[in-house]
Structure 1
Amino acid sequence: MPADTPMMRQYKRIKQSHTDSILFFRLGDFYEMFLSDAKEASSILNLTLTKRHNIPMCGIPYHAAHSYIARLLKAGKKIAICEQTKMPEGGKGIAEREVVEIITPGTVVDEDFLDKDRNNYLFAAGICRDSLSIAYTDLSTGEFFASAFDASKAADILKRELRRLSPGELLIQQSLLEENDEVARILDERTELLVNRYPDWAFDIENSSMLLKKQFNLMTLKGFGINDYDPAVFSCGIILEYIADTSKSLLPHIRRLRIIRDEDFLLLDESSLKNLEITGNLQDGGKRYSLLEVIDQTRTAMGSRRLKNWLLHPLLKKSEIITRQTRVEFLYHNQILLSGINEKLSSILDIERLSSRIGMDKAHAKNLLAVRNSLRSAFELNELLVEWESNDGPGTLSNEVATGAAEILKLLDDSIDEDPSTLLTEGRMIKSGYSMELDELKNLKQHSKEILTAYLEQEKEESGITSLKIRYNRIIGYFIEVTKTNLDLVPEHFIRRQSLVAAERFTTDRLIELETNLNSASDKAVELEKQLFLEVRDQIKIRIEILLSLAAYISEIDCLASLASAATKYGWVKPTISDGSECRIINGRHPVVEANIPSGEFIPNNLSLNDAETSFALITGPNMAGKSTYLRQNALIILMAQAGSFIPADSAVIGIVDRIFCRVGASDNLARGESTFMVEMNETANILNSASSRSLVIMDEVGRGTGTNDGLSIAWAVSEYLLNQIKAKTLFATHYHELTTLEHKRLKNLSLDVRENHGEIVFLKRIKDGPADASYGIHVASLAGLPEEVIARAEEIQSSLEEREQKAGSRTPDSGESKTVELFAAEEMLKSEVMGIDLNNCTPLQALNTIAAWKEKYKN
C-alpha cells in the first residue's frame, strides 16, 4: 500500500483533523489503523503490527470493535470513528469517508463502556479573575455542576475534587498548569486521566454565559442562583463546546445547571476521603471494604450512583437531615413495604442513562423496550407507595410526571416489538398493528405465496378457467398461463406477454402491482420501520424531562430503601441530630470492620465531645490496641448521621459538624520527592489552616516521621493550637506519652485498655479514661515475628533507658548498651539537623561547612 495512493491521501487528510485521536478507518469489514496510530493501538490492544510498503498497520473486525474501544478508553485514549459514507459510482475510485463520531473517556454514553454504579464525569478547570472555576458533567446521565473557589487554594481543591469525582477526562486552562507547579504535579500523578490542555482564550466567560443560556433556552442565569458572569460559569462553556465537537448531537437531557457551594455540604478534603475509605479502600481504591460497600443495598444502578453522591456530600442543614432520617425510619419500621419496594426496584433498569441515549439519538429499540418495562415497574412501585402514603414516607409521583410517564408507556406499549432488533437496517422493531402500511408490507413479504394463490383463485372464479396457473421467470417476472383450449375464455383485462406452442402467457394490472409490491416490500418495510422507530424515539425525546424526573424519583426511593435495609441488616439506630456542639455516641462500632468479622465480635466504644467540657480527646495506647479503628469509626458515624443514615451504635446525639479532617497514616510519595513526614506536615498544615470550631479533627501519630524531640514538639504545639485557637472537636492519638501531661479544661486523656496475664499482653480494644500505662511496642514486635534475639536485646535496651530516666544518669549501662543508646541519640540529633536544612537556599560552600561541622561533632 504505497504512501501516495488515493486512499492513503484520504487517510492522511482525515487524520490531520484528528491528531489527538486514534483513527478507526473503515475498510470493508475492518477498521484499519495506520502509522503512529497502528503502533500505539497494537501495543495497547496486543494486536499484530504489520507493514505494507513500509507503512505500519493493524486492524480489527468492525463487528468486534466495542471490546477494543473499551480497552482504549480505559487506557485514556480518544477514538475517531471514520465510516464509508458513499460508495464510488460505477465501482471506480475510492469510497467517500468521514468521521461520524469521536468517543472519549469523558463523553462516552454507550452502556458497554460504562461502569453502571459510578458516574463518568467530564471535568473542566480554569482561573477566572481570583477564582478557580470548575465544572463537570456526566453526559450519560445529564447531570451538570459548576463551582467557584479561592484561586489561592487551587491545588488543594483540584486534588479533593479529582479524588471525589474520579472523572474520566479533564479539560484544563494551560496557564493554570504553567503557573501552578503543584497542579501540574497532581495531574502528572494521575496517569490514567486524559488531560486536554486549552489556551486561555478558549476559556471565555461571555461565551460560556451565552452557551449556557442557549442550552437551557434562558434570558438570564439568575434562576440557577448566579449572575451571568459568575466565575462558576467560566468553565462551563468549554465543556459544552467539547461535547458538541465530539458527540455531534444536541443535548436535550442536560436540562439544568446545579451550582455546588462548600457551605451547602459537610466537606471532606482529599486526605479524609482517602483515609476514611468512604467509597474506595486504601489498597486498590476498589469498593470492597469501603463504607459504600456496606451501606449500598440499592437495587438500581441510578440509585447506587446517587447513594455514593449522598455519602460524598453529607448534609449541613438540620431540617434536611431530619427529613431524610424520617423517611428512612418510616421504611425501617414498615418492613413489608420495604420488601415490596426492593422487589419492584429490582425490575427497574437505568432510566437515567437510557434517557440520555434517547436524548442523543443513540437509543435502539431494545433500549426503548427497557424503558417501557421499567415504566411498568415504576407505576407498580408508585401504586405500592400510594397504598402506604404518609407524611413521613418517601412520597409518591407528582401528577405531572405520572401523566407524562403514562403517555410514554402507552406509546411504547403500542409501538415497540416484544423482541426487537438493535439494528435499524434489520426491521423487527415496530409492533404489529401500529402502522397499517407497515403491516401490509410485512404481510406482502411474509405471505407472498398465499397472496398470489388468493389472487389466482379470484381470477379462476371470475374467468371460469379452472386450469389457470401463476408462474415466474427472471425474464418477464410473474405471469398467468392459459392453455390454448381456454383462450376464448380469457377476460378483457388480461394483457398478452408471450405465446408458446401449447399456451399463452398473460399479465394484469393487479399482477403487475403485486409483483412490484412483492419485489420492493422488503426494502420498503425496512425503511418504513426505521422511519416509524425514529418518530417514536423523537416523541419520547420531547418528553425527556418526564423520564429524567421519574429517574430522580426512583433513585431517591432506592437510596432511602438502601439506608433502611442496611439499618435492618446491621442493627443500626437513628441518631438524634443537634444544632449544638455535643457529639455523644454510646457503644459505637466501626461499620465496615463489624460487617466483615463474625457477629458480636466487635468491641463497641463510647465517645463524648462538646465545647463546654471535653472538645479534645488525647488517646494513648499501644499499636494494635485499636486506636486507628476508634478514630475512624467516630468520623464515619458522624458522616453517616449527616448523610441521613442510621448508625452503628446503641444511641447517639450528633452535633452537626461543617468539616471532617482525617489525618491518619501516610505513605511516601517518592515520585513527588515527598517523604512520609512531608506528607504528614502538609496534611497537618491544611487542617490548621482550614478547620473551624464546628469541625471534627481526627489526628493519628502526628510527628512520628521525624526525630523524637522534633516530633514531640510538633505534636505538642499542634495540640495546643487546636485547643486554644481553632477549638475544634478533636480526637488526637499519639505515642508521645509526654503529651498526657498537657493541661487544659477541655482536654481529656483516654487510652485503650490492656491487660497483662502471666506475661502475655491482651488488647481489650476498649476505651477507658486516663493515659496508657505503657506502649507495649516490644510485645507487638514479638507478635509480628521478630527474631527472639532481637526481642531480647530490645528488652535489655528498654530496661537500660528506663533506669537512666529514673536515676537521671547515675548508672552507666554496659559498654554494648552504652554504645547503642548513644548511637540512637546521635542518630536522632543528626536526623533532626538534616531535616532542618533548607536545600533551596543552601549554597555549596554552606553545605561543605555543615558537613565539616558534623564530622567534628560526631567523630567520637
Structure 2
Amino acid sequence: DPVLTKMLEAQMPAGCFNALDETCFEPGGANTVLDRELDADVLEKSTIKEHPAAKVAAGVILRYVNSTQMVRASHISEIKEYSPENYLILDETARRNLEIFSTIQDNVRAGSLFSLINETLTPMGARRLRWWMGYPLVVPEKIRARLAAVAEIKDSHAVRSNLRKTLSRIYDLERLAGRVALRVATPRDLIALKSSLAVLPQLQAMLTDFTAPALVKIRKEMTDMSVLVDLLSRAIVADPPPRTQDGGFIASGFDDGLDQLRSISRDGKKWIAALEAKERQATGINSLKIGFNNVFGYYIEVSKANASLVPDSYVRKQTLVNAERYINQELKEFEQTVLSAEEKIRERENEIFNQLREDLMPYIADIQYNAFRVAELDAFCALAEVAEKYAYVCPEIDEEDVINIKDGRHPVVEAVLKNEGFVPNDTLLNLQGNRLLVITGPNMAGKSTYIRQVALIVLLAQMGSFVPASHARIGVVDKIFTRIGASDSLTKGQSTFMVEMMETARILTDATSRSLVILDEVGRGTSTFDGLSIAWAVAEYIHDFGGRGMRTLFATHYHQLTDLAASKEGAKNYNIAVKEWGEKIIFLRKIMEGGTSRSYGIEVARIAGVPAGVIARAKEILRNLEKGEFDEIGMPRIARGKNVEKQGNPQLSLFAESEDVILDELRQIDISSMTPLSALNKLSELKSKL
C-alpha cells in the first residue's frame, strides 16, 4: 500500500521497511511458521492461541527472523502477552518530556533518569531495569514485592557489596544463549558462558539469609549448571583465540584423536630420532640416518658401502654419488601423518566444536532461565545501591487516590547539582480538594522542574524503586501524561501550536481519573486571549472529568487561572517563591500556597543577558502599560510620542467588562425625556462600544 508506506516513512524517517506478500498475514501461513519455528511446549504455554491477530503478528516476525538468521530460532522459549492494563502507560511524549531514557536537547543517555538509576553490572540487568522503568507496575502487591527486595538488599551492606562483586564477573548470558542457539558461538563465547555459570552457586549462597519473597524465588529457581560448567571446562582452553580459524581452542585430554595429532605435530623430531635408532639397531648400519627435503620428503639414507645390509622392506627413493635413499612403510605412514597433521588438527577441532555446540542445545532453556534470575537480582541490587547513594526512601503504595510527597526532589537535577543543594518541595494530590494544582511563577523559578519531579517520583515508586523524598505515599496511577514545551514538526507540516494542541487533545481523550497529568504552559503558542481561553477550558475539563477529575499539576503564566480556585473546589493555587532585592529577584525554588500575579519576565531577560538598553526600554513600556497610558486611538502606548492620555487599568481580565459598562449606562437613561432621534443616536453609541 503506497499510502501506508508513505505514512510509515513520515512517522519513522530512520526506519527500514521490508514488504511481505499478503499471504504472510493469513492465519494459515502464521500457524505453519509458528509450528515450524517454535517447540510445541512454547505454543502450549502461551495464550497466543486465544488471539488470532497476535498469532499472525508473531508468525510474520518469526518469518523475518528466519530469513535474516537462516536458522531455526530455537532459543525463543516463551511468547509473552503484553496487557496494557497491567502496566503504567507512558506514551512517547511522556518519555521524551520527562527525559526518562534520553535528554530532550541532545537526545543522549547522559542526563536521563535511566542513566542515573542504572547501577547494574550486567547487560541483562540493565535491560531488565530499563523494562521496569519503561513499564512500571500498577498492582500494589507486585510493587511492594519489588520494594521489599530492594529494602532488604539495601540494608545488608556487606552482602550487597559481595553480590555486586560477583555479578560483575557475569557476562551477557541472554546473548550468549542466543549465539549458542543460532550456532554462531565462538570458543571465547563458551568460556564466557562457563565462567558466568560457574558463579551462580556463589550468588545462591549469598541469598540464603534473605526473606523477601522475590529474593527467595531467585535463589530457589536458579538451576544447577555444574554439568555444563564441567563440560566446557574440559572442552575449551582457558584463554582461547578469538576465531576458530586460529585453532588451538580445544583443551588437551578432551579428545584422544586430537591429542595424537597434536603429539605428532609437536613431537615429530623425537619420533624421527627414535625411528632412526630403531632402524640402525635392526639393520646393523650405524651410519644410517633419516632426513627430509622439500622434493622427496622423508627418506632413510644409507652409504653405498652398506647397501648390502639394506632390508628388502626398504624401497629406493633416490640415488646419490655415495649413498642411496630409501623409504619404508613406517616412515611413509609417518610422512603422510605429519604433513597432514596441522590440517587434520584444524578439521578435528572444528568437528569437536560443532558437536559441542550441538551438545549445548538442551541447556539453552536453563541458561535463559538463569539469565532472567541474574538480571532481576542485578536490577534489585542497582536500585538498592541508588537508594543508599542518594538517600532515597521506600514509598508507601496503595490504590487510593492520594499522592502525598514530603520533601520531594528531582532525581536528576539533584544529582547534577551535587554539593550546591536541591530545594525539596511537598506535594499533595487527591481527587477531592487537591485534584488540580495551578502553579504560577516566573520563568527559571523552577515550575517545570517541580512538576516533572512529581511525575518521576511516581514512576520510580511504581517501578519498585525507592524515591527522592523524606516520605512518599503513592496511590497508583494508570497513565502519566505530559504537555511540556513544544517545537515545530516541520517534516509533518505541524506548527508548534498544532503540536501543543495535539498533545493536549491526546490527554483529554485518553486520560482517566486514575491518571497523573502534567501540564506546562498550555495555550502559549497562540494569541493571549485564545491561549487563555484554551487553558481555562482545559483546566475546567480536567477538574470536572467524570465527576472526579484527574490528579493534575498545571504550571502557567496565565495568572487569571488562579481565579479557578474560587469556583472549583478541587483547584488549589501554588506559586514558586521569589525574593525581591531592589530591582533584582532571587529564586527561592520553594512551592508556596497561593497564586501570584507577577511574572518577573524583564528581570529574567536581564539574567539571561539581554542588552541593558533593551531592558531599560522594556521597563519603560511596562510602566506605560501598568499606568494605563494609551495613544489617541486607544492602543497601549508603546511607541514614543506625545498626546498621551490616561485611561483605566488595562490589566486583562478573564471576563470582559464592556457589557457591564453598557448595562450600567442603559439603567441610567431616562427614556421618557429622549426624542426618537436622540434614542437612535444613543443606541448607535452603545453599539459602537461592544
In which range does the TM-score fall when normalised by the shorter chain? 0.7 to 0.9
Distance 1:805 1:373, change over 3 A: farther
1:695 aligns with 2:519: no
Q: Which residue number corresponds to residue 73 of structure 2?
A: 251
The Cα of 1:198 is off from its aligned counterpart by 3.7
Distance 2:301 2:326 in 1: 6
Q: Is the CA contact 1:621–1:772 (under 8 Å) kept in the aligned structure 2?
A: yes
Question: For structure 1, which segment, 525-534 or 250-259, has the greater mean C-alpha deviation from structure 2 after superposition?
Answer: 250-259
Secondary structure in 1 aligned to 2:617?
helix
Aligned residue among 497, 501, 506 for 1:686? 506
Distance 1:216 1:244, change over 3 A: closer
Aligned residue among 348, 361, 366 for 2:170? 348
TM-score, length basis structure 2: 0.87
Distance 1:313 1:529 in 2: 46
Secondary structure in 1 aligned to 2:417?
coil
Q: Is the CA contact 1:389–1:396 (under 8 Å) kept in the aligned structure 2?
A: no
Q: Which residue number corresponds to residue 591 of structure 2?
A: 767
Q: Is the CA contact 1:205–1:229 (under 8 Å) kept in the aligned structure 2?
A: no
Secondary structure in 1 aligned to 2:240?
coil
Q: Note the residue ranges of structure 2 that are not aligned, 5 or more in a row.
A: 647-651, 653-690
Distance 1:459 1:821, change over 3 A: farther
Distance 1:660 1:819 in 2: 55
Distance 1:783 1:263, change over 3 A: same
Secondary structure in 2 aligned to 1:249?
coil
* Equivalent position amino acid for 2:129 in 1: L
Specify the structure having the higher radius of gyration (Cα): 2
Q: Within 5 Å, which residues of 2 pair with 1:265-276?
A: 265-276=87-98
1:177 aligns with 2:29: no
The Cα of 1:492 is off from its aligned counterpart by 6.1
Distance 1:397 1:455 in 2: 62
Aligned residue among 326, 341, 352 for 1:521? 341
Distance 2:218 2:315 in 1: 66
* Equivalent position amino acid for 1:782 in 2: R
Q: Which residue number corresponds to residue 664 of structure 2?
A: none
Q: Which residue number corresponds to residue 655 of structure 2?
A: none
Q: Within 5 Å, which residues of 2 pair with 1:363-382?
A: 363-382=185-204
1:569 aligns with 2:389: yes
Distance 1:565 1:503, change over 3 A: same
Distance 1:729 1:566 in 2: 28
Q: Is the CA contact 2:437–2:574 (under 8 Å) kept in the aligned structure 1?
A: yes
Q: Within 5 Å, which residues of 2 pair with 1:776-787?
A: 776-787=600-611
The Cα of 1:265 is off from its aligned counterpart by 0.6
* Equivalent position amino acid for 2:94 in 1: S
The Cα of 1:798 is off from its aligned counterpart by 2.4
Q: Is the CA contact 2:408–2:426 (under 8 Å) kept in the aligned structure 1?
A: yes
Q: Is the CA contact 1:572–1:648 (under 8 Å) kept in the aligned structure 2?
A: yes
Q: Is the CA contact 2:265–2:341 (under 8 Å) kept in the aligned structure 1?
A: yes
Distance 1:393 1:461, change over 3 A: farther
Distance 1:410 1:537 in 2: 15
* Equivalent position amino acid for 1:802 in 2: E
Deviation string, structure 1 residues 74-126 (Cα, Å, up to 9, x no partner): xxxxxxxxxxxxxxxxxxxxxxxxxxxxxxxxxxxxxxxxxxxxxxxxxxxxx
1:706 aligns with 2:526: yes
1:799 aligns with 2:619: no
Q: Which residue number corresponds to residue 570 of structure 2?
A: 746
Distance 1:500 1:668, change over 3 A: closer
Aligned residue among 456, 472, 496 for 1:652? 472
Distance 1:187 1:446, change over 3 A: same
Distance 1:814 1:681 in 2: 31
Q: Within 5 Å, which residues of 2 pair with 1:154-303?
A: 174=1, 177=4, 184-185=6-7, 187-198=9-20, 200-218=22-40, 221=43, 223-227=45-49, 229-303=51-125
* Equivalent position amino acid for 1:777 in 2: G
Q: Which residue number corresponds to residue 402 of structure 1?
A: 223
Question: For structure 1, which segment, 410-419 or 188-197, has the greater mean C-alpha deviation from structure 2 after superposition?
Answer: 188-197
Secondary structure in 1 aligned to 2:534?
helix
Secondary structure in 1 aligned to 2:40?
coil
Q: Is the CA contact 1:419–1:428 (under 8 Å) kept in the aligned structure 2?
A: no
Aligned residue among 234, 239, 246 for 1:419? 239
The Cα of 1:535 is off from its aligned counterpart by 0.8
Aligned residue among 274, 278, 287 for 1:454? 274
The Cα of 1:175 is off from its aligned counterpart by 7.1
Q: Which residue number corresponds to residue 390 of structure 1?
A: 211
Question: For structure 1, which segment, 753-762 or 581-590, has the greater mean C-alpha deviation from structure 2 after superposition?
Answer: 753-762
The Cα of 1:383 is off from its aligned counterpart by 3.1
Q: Is the CA contact 2:39–2:74 (under 8 Å) kept in the aligned structure 1?
A: no
* Equivalent position amino acid for 1:659 in 2: K
Deviation string, structure 1 residues 232-282 (Cα, Å, up to 9, x no partner): 222222222222222211211122211212111100112111100000000
Distance 1:216 1:820, change over 3 A: farther
Distance 2:374 2:641 in 1: 70
Q: Which residue number corresponds to residue 676 of structure 2?
A: none
Distance 1:821 1:579, change over 3 A: farther
The Cα of 1:204 is off from its aligned counterpart by 2.1
The Cα of 1:495 is off from its aligned counterpart by 4.7
Q: Which residue number corresponds to residue 553 of structure 1?
A: 373
Q: Is the CA contact 1:585–1:608 (under 8 Å) kept in the aligned structure 2?
A: yes
State the structure with bigger RCO (CA 8 A, min sep 6), 1 or 2: 2
The Cα of 1:496 is off from its aligned counterpart by 5.0
Question: For structure 1, which segment, 537-546 or 462-471, has the greater mean C-alpha deviation from structure 2 after superposition?
Answer: 462-471
Question: For structure 1, which segment, 623-632 or 546-555, has the greater mean C-alpha deviation from structure 2 after superposition?
Answer: 546-555
Distance 1:389 1:469, change over 3 A: farther
Q: Which residue number corresponds to residue 357 of structure 1?
A: 179
Secondary structure in 1 aligned to 2:419?
coil
The Cα of 1:213 is off from its aligned counterpart by 3.2
- Percent identity between the aligned chains? 39
Secondary structure in 1 aligned to 2:174?
helix
Q: Is the CA contact 2:146–2:214 (under 8 Å) kept in the aligned structure 1?
A: no
Q: Is the CA contact 1:567–1:646 (under 8 Å) kept in the aligned structure 2?
A: yes
Distance 1:747 1:432, change over 3 A: same
* Equivalent position amino acid for 2:374 in 1: I
Q: Is the CA contact 1:797–1:821 (under 8 Å) kept in the aligned structure 2?
A: no
1:587 aligns with 2:407: yes
The Cα of 1:395 is off from its aligned counterpart by 3.6
Q: Note the residue ranges of structure 1 that are not aligned, 5 or more in a row.
A: 1-173, 179-183, 823-827, 829-860
Q: How many residue pairs are counted as aligned between the two chains?
A: 643
Distance 1:812 1:339, change over 3 A: closer
The Cα of 1:370 is off from its aligned counterpart by 1.6
Distance 1:396 1:744, change over 3 A: closer
* Equivalent position amino acid for 2:593 in 1: D
The Cα of 1:501 is off from its aligned counterpart by 5.7
The Cα of 1:491 is off from its aligned counterpart by 5.2
* Equivalent position amino acid for 2:423 in 1: I
Distance 2:524 2:345 in 1: 77
Distance 1:784 1:600 in 2: 21
Secondary structure in 1 aligned to 2:48?
coil
Aligned residue among 610, 619, 633 for 2:439? 619
Distance 1:494 1:390, change over 3 A: farther
Distance 1:353 1:670, change over 3 A: same
Distance 1:756 1:186 in 2: 53
Q: Is the CA contact 1:797–1:817 (under 8 Å) kept in the aligned structure 2?
A: no
The Cα of 1:482 is off from its aligned counterpart by 3.2
Q: Within 5 Å, which residues of 2 pair with 1:15-30?
A: none
Secondary structure in 2 aligned to 1:460?
helix
Question: For structure 1, which segment, 330-339 or 191-200, has the greater mean C-alpha deviation from structure 2 after superposition?
Answer: 191-200
Secondary structure in 1 aligned to 2:557?
coil
Measured on the aligned residues, the alpha-carbon RMSD in Å equals 2.8
Secondary structure in 2 aligned to 1:603?
coil
* Equivalent position amino acid for 1:480 in 2: I
